[in-house]
Amino acid sequence: RLPVPKLEDTIRRYLNAQKPLLNDDQFRKTEELAHRFGKGIGKELHEQLVAQDNQNKHTSYITGPWFDMYLKAREPVVLNFNPFMSFNPDPKSEYNNQLIRATNMTVSALRFMKTFRAGYLEPEVFHLNPEKSDTEIFKKIIRFVPSSLSWFGAYMVNAYPLDMSQYFRLFNSTRLPKLNRDELYTDEKAKHLLVLRNGNFYVFDVIDRDGNMLKPSEIQAHLKYILSDNSPAPAFPLGYLSTENRDTWALLRKNLLDNGNEEALQKVDSAVFCLSLDDFPIKDFVHLSHTMLHGDGANRWYDKSFNLIITKDGTAGINFEHSWGDGVAVLRFQNEVFKDSTKAPALSPQSQPASVDSSRAVQKLDFKLNDALKAGITKAKQKFDASIEALSLNMIQFREGGKDLLKQKKVSPDAVAQLAFQMAFLRQYNQTVATYESCSTAAFKHGRTETIRPASIHTKKCSEAFVRELSKHSTEELQKLIVECSKYHGRLTKEAAMGQGFDRHLFGLRYLALSKGIALPDFYQDQAYAQLNHNIISTSTLMSPAVELGGFGPVVSDGFGVGYQVHDDWIGCNVSSYPARNGKEYLQCIYKSLEDIFNVLKGKKISS
């Protein structure tokens, strides 16, 4: 189970995170508020939270508050919440044909779904010592241990089973807009796929009455039929509605239902997943990011648990709704789909579609729109276009080293990337700001994520040495500062993964106070608390053989969204921003920071 940290630990960790962001006077005030909170109302709330947690052993203390945080948010899901991860191309280039890849990936996704539902999906396990535990013999033995004890057997060899309670929401699921708080909806009985092309909606069954998958050649035939349908794009594409403010969308949805669209919407909501087929090829990585993060707004249904997007040249990616689950669940799905569709593809480029009557099997959904709905779609499009217009996406590939060299120098690759983000921001804006790095807590029952706070007194000191005081430090001193940052970041990461961060705990206490109608404690009204939770640099990393790159929008209007990957011999970084910040310049500063850090680790003298 996810532990509730000790309150004194949480306050200590909170103050450590505040230290680099505040001057002495501000820090003294925040420190006093924190200690008062810890002895008074905070202590009472903490005891109530622990008691509540003890009565709810089937779940974790963060589950309810976290779902609420996502589902009560009224901002559009696109750009604000939905991230993307794009697939690597199929190593066999002739398999990157749009129809072939769409069919193969759909079949692999259905195989994954069927395996999962039958209870045969291999458990997700984090192996600290893979030589001992990630072996056939261990798997054979553990198979015979009853499940109430098997986790203990795994712990003995440093293998940690991860929570998989989110997985069922991958399929047949959607987020329904409701006033004040959305709902998650899942209908596992539905057997059809939703396909979007050119803003038109199509459905066809991919599972038959006996629960078997349709033949791949039949799925190919139906997708070919959709790809060759030359119906014009709708004048009022419904997809735009899923880009709206959630309350606005909730009212429009009610209007849609009242206007005779209940059956069509039910098809959309219950579909196994949404396959979006785009009619253009990808030009470059920036175009790829724009396509997967937001697209044109008409050819996506952002409320589905995920959209599998495949462009004209067979480039594929996933855009997923974030309330139901986190990156680890989606990544496992992506890894399996990539592996299965490339190693055991259902079709080859020579495969012929089955001779079936697709015009009968495929249903094009028709929506009845009144003037209010048409006006609603037009307005949604204008707002969507304006927010996309304001968004910048930029990226770099740092090719002068990566994980291999950093491990050889005994520093943490993730710590170095995070240090570079701090150094770069100091170089560009001359300050240290609130920074967020997400860390999975799936090692616990119903765990979600915890925050790592990469901005520390160590990164601040090191960044200032590199950016402002280079002449005062020898290369050895700079190396020591990097090692210091690496050690501290390693500790923060370990604590977060073990459910020992401070963000979720404080969030849970605040949520509890509000739910009990208790006046919000002064601690939470502190300017410094608000500032720490205004995450100007929001970061996330995922590494996988299946994923080419990932990214998300900034979480605040004056922030950066930083998706990054530290490969064996290079580092990739993808930054989103709005006009208040210059993402291109920030990336140049990140590049310079990485260059300086790597040169110092190699023992070279650097210049400012």
3-class DSSP state for residue 218? Answer: helix
Cβ within 8 Å of residue 266, ≥6 positions away: none
Please tell me the distance from the alpha carbon of residue 247 to that of residue 253, in angstroms, as a whole number. Answer: 10
Q: Dihedrals φ, ψ of 501, to 5°?
A: -85, -170
Two structure tokens written together for 312: 């004209």
Phi-psi region of 424 (alpha: psi -120 to 50; beta: other; left: phi over 0): alpha
Two structure tokens written together for 435: 């920074």
> From the CB of residue 581, how many other CB atoms can be counted at a distance below 10 Å?
23
What's the CA angle centered on 135, arms 134 and 140, to 5 degrees? 115
Please tell me the distance from the alpha carbon of residue 37 to that of residue 126, in angstroms, as a whole number. Answer: 37
Residue where the block lists tokens 């984090």: 126
Beta bridge partners of 279: none
Please tell me the distance from the alpha carbon of residue 404 to that of residue 22, in angstroms, as a whole number. Answer: 36
Catalytic residue IDs: 322
Q: Dihedrals φ, ψ of 538, to 5°?
A: -110, 125
3-state helix, strand, coil in the chain (%, to 5): 50, 15, 35
3-class DSSP state for residue 447? Answer: coil
Please tell me the distance from the alpha carbon of residue 13 to that of residue 528, in angstroms, as a whole number. Answer: 14
Q: Quick one: how far is CA 394 from the chain centroid?
A: 18
Residues recorded for the chain:
608
> Taking a C-beta distance cutoff of 8 angstroms, is the pair 489, 22 a contact?
no
Please tell me the distance from the alpha carbon of residue 595 to that of residue 174, in angstroms, as a whole number. Answer: 44
3-class DSSP state for residue 200? Answer: strand
> Taking a C-beta distance cutoff of 8 angstroms, is the pair 415, 566 a contact?
no
